[in-house]
A and B are shown apart, each in its own frame.
Chain A
Amino acid sequence: MQEVLICKHGDIEDGTVRIVRVNEYDIGIIRQGGRYYAYRNRCPHQGGPACEGVRMPGVYDDIDENGLFHGQKFDEDDIHIVCPWHGYEFHLSDGTNVCDPKLRLRKFDVIERDGNVYVSA
C-alpha cells in the first residue's frame, strides 16, 4: 500500500466525486457532508461504475408501533452510493450493499494532511 496524492483539500466540492486511476484501480473519491470517502469504481453486481452515479439518502417505509404505514421517507443520515448501471445501492459510510452486506465496494483509506488529500491504495 502506498499513499497517493489525490488533490488539495477543497478541490473536490462537497457532494461531488472525482475518478482517479491509482495503480490498477479506478477509484471514486467522494466528498460528502464534509468528509472524504474512497471506493473502487466497480460494482460487484455487473461491474458498473458505481461511484459515477448519484448519492442519495436511503428510503424507508415509515411504520408505527401498530403496524400502520405512514408513507415513505428519506433517511438523511444514511447516504447511499447508487450504481448508475442498475441502481444497486451501497452505504456511503462503509461500502456495504443495502440489500446484502456480503456485497461491498472495495474501500480505500483517505488521509487528509497538510491541506492535501491522499488515498492509500
Chain B
Amino acid sequence: MSNAEAAPIPDFRDMATERFDTSMHLANAARQADERGYEDFLIVDVDSHHYENEASAEIAEFIDNPILRHEVKYQGISRKGITTGFGQYQELGGRVTRYPLRKSEHVPETPHRDITLMRRWMDAMGVDIACMFPTPLLNLGLVPRVDLEVELADAYNRWLCETILQEDSRLKSMLYLPFNDPEACLKTIEKYGDHKGVIGFMVTSTRYRGVYDNAYAKTYRALEERNLPLGFHTGLGGQEPGLSTCNRFLTLHALGFAWHNMLHLSNWVINGLPERFPKLKTLWIEAGLAWIPFVMQRLDNEYMMRPSDAPLLKKKPSDYMRDMFYTSQPMEMVNNSKALELTFEMIDAPNQLLYSSDYPHWDMDLPSTIYDLPFLDQAAKRNILGGNAQRLFNLEPILAEHKLAKQAAKRQAAPG
C-alpha cells in the first residue's frame, strides 16, 4: 500500500463545478464513434432538433404582420408550465440534465449559437449531415388561429434558411408546411423549395386535417415535380380526447407519438395517395418502428375484406408501406431482438430506413443503436446510417472535417 499512498491524486473532473458542454456531455459518444470507425462512411441524422424558442425574439423580426410580431415578442413561442399538459416534462424532472443546463452552455459569438450547438453534438456522435427540426413549433398545427400558423411558419422558415441553413452545408431541414392552409403550403414550397439546405417539407402530425383532402393536391404535385420528400413529424398530442386520459408522460409519449403517424399513414394509403402521386416520397418521422408491422397487418387484413373502401389500391397496403421511408428513433430495443429483426425485414430496412437521433431530446438514439445490430451486414448498416438518406434527399456526401482528418491520418500511418 505504500506505493499507492505515495502516489499523487489523479486528475479529475468535479461535476459540482464543471460547466455544461455538449462535447463533454457526449464524450462517450465520441469514443463509440472512434471505436466503430465512423470516419470511414457518411452518417446522416434525419431527425434532430434545436430549440427555436430560444431565438423567439430573432424569429419575431421575420413576422410581417405587426400584431402577430408583437404577440410573439411578448409571449415567446414555447410551451409553459405544469398546467399546460406534459409539454415541459421531456426533461424528466431534471433527470435528463442537458435540458436545464443547455442554456448555460458557452458558445462563441459567431456563428449563430444553434450552429455551434448542432456542430458539437454532430461531431461527438460522428454525424456528418443533420436534418434539423424545431421543438415547440411541432405543436403549432393545433393552434386555432390559422393565420398565426401561416405567419409564424413563414417567419421560422425564413429565419432558418437565412440564419442557419445558409451558413453551414452540413445542416439541412425539411421546412414547416402550414397544413391548416393548403394554399399557404403551396406558396411555402414555391418560396423555399430551391433554398440552400432545404431537402423537403414537413407536416406536423398533431393536427385535425385529413391528408386526403383535395385541397392538398397542388401541394403534393408541387413536391412530386420537385422530387422533394414529404415528411410527417409526429408528436405527443395530449389534446386528443382518448389520449387526454394519459396521466403519465410515459403513456402519452408511448402511444401519442405512434398514434398520430398511424392515423395519417393509414389515411394516406387507403385513400390511394401513393397511386395519385406515385413519385411523391413520404417519410414517417419519430414514431419508432414497432407500430409499422401492426398497421401493415391490420390494413392488409381489412383491405382483403373491404376492397371497395380502397379501390385505388393495386396492391396490399403493406406493399405501399414498404415503399415508404421511416426514421429509426426511438427504436424499441428492450428484450425484443426477434421482433426488431422481423420489423426490419417487413419494412425493407436496408433500403427504406433512415437513422435519426432526435438529439437533444430525452429519448435520443446514437448511431451505435444501428451499427451494433447483430442481424445487419455492413452494407445495410451504412445504408441506414447514411446511404439511404443520401439517395432519398440527393445529398452531396459531405464528411465532417474531423472525420476527413482521421482518414488522412490513417492513410499516412498505413504501411507502404
Task: List residues of A whose CB falls within 8 A of some B CB.
Answer: 2-8, 11, 13, 16-22, 41-42, 46-49, 51-54, 56, 82, 84-87, 89, 113-114, 116, 118
Tell me the complex Cα distance, A17–B93, Å: 20
* Contact indicator A53/B9 (Cβ below 8 Å): no
Of B12, B363, B369, the residue contacting A18 (CB under 8 A) is B12
* Contact indicator B25/A49 (Cβ below 8 Å): yes
Segment touching A, from B94-102, B107-115, B149-157: B94-102
Which residues between 344 and 369 of chain B lie within 8 Å of chain A, taking CB atoms? 362-366, 368-369
Determine the chain B residues whose CB is within 8 A of the CB of A87 once the complex forms. 92, 95-96, 362
Query: Nearest residue in A to B8 (C-beta to C-beta)?
Result: A5
Q: Does B4 count as interface, using CB distance less than 8 angstroms?
A: yes
Q: Does B278 count as interface, using CB distance less than 8 angstroms?
A: no
Tell me the complex Cα distance, A20–B8, Å: 13
* Contact indicator A47/B29 (Cβ below 8 Å): yes
Tell me the complex Cα distance, A21–B16, Å: 17
* Contact indicator B97/A84 (Cβ below 8 Å): yes
Quote the shortest CB–CB distance from B24 to chain A (angstroms).
9
Task: List residues of B whose CB falls within 8 A of some A CB.
Answer: 1, 4-5, 7-16, 25, 27-29, 31-32, 92-98, 362-366, 368-369
Quote the shortest CB–CB distance from B15 to chain A (angstroms).
5
Tell me the complex Cα distance, A87–B330, Å: 14
* Contact indicator B9/A86 (Cβ below 8 Å): no
* Contact indicator B5/A17 (Cβ below 8 Å): no
- For the complex of A and B, list the 3 residue pairs with the smallest distance between their C-beta atoms, beginning with the closest: A84-B97, A16-B16, A19-B13
* Contact indicator A18/B28 (Cβ below 8 Å): no
Quote the shortest CB–CB distance from A106 to chain B (angstroms).
14
* Contact indicator A6/B10 (Cβ below 8 Å): yes
Of A2, A22, A53, A116, the residue contacting B10 (CB under 8 A) is A22
Query: Nearest residue in B to A49 (C-beta to C-beta)?
Result: B28
Query: Nearest residue in A to B7 (C-beta to C-beta)?
Result: A5
| With contact pairs A2-B4, A54-B97 given, residues A16 and B15 touching in the complex (Cβ less than 8 Å) | yes
